[in-house]
Amino acid sequence: MTAKGADRPFYIYLAYSGRTLIVGANQSALQVLIDAGVDIEPGCMLGGCGMCVADFVEGDLIHKDLCLTENDRKALFCPCVSRAGTRIVLPL
């Protein structure tokens, strides 16, 4: 059982490679992607600089950044802070 307000694990599905990654409750999606060999530059790690911004295809995203507009969030997310309820699909 997850404490109220705590982050939950979720899946990242890489559509082109067919790989599935698991983001643990205490991990960022960015760290999991970097560990998996995805070439993303980390920056502030606070959702503010936009250096890590990545495309997504679909998913129940929970945006936690401070740098994207609502329009941006239709196709982009900041993996350093943003999470998903269950799953996100990336064009990788």
Interacting residues with ligand FES (CB under 6 A)? 42-45, 47-52, 65, 67, 78, 80
CB of 43 to ligand FES, least distance (A): 4
In the bound complex, what is the minimum distance in angstroms from residue 10's beta carbon to ligand FES?
17
Q: Using CA atoms, how far apart are residues 80 and 27, in angstroms rounded to an integer?
A: 9
User: Least distance in Å: CB of 19 to ligand FES?
Assistant: 22
User: Parallel, antiparallel, or unpaired for β 58-62 and 10-14?
Assistant: unpaired
Decide whether 14 or 49 has the Cβ nearer to ligand FES: 49
Residue pair 53/1 in contact (Cβ under 8 Å)? The answer is no
Helices of type H across 1-92: 29-35
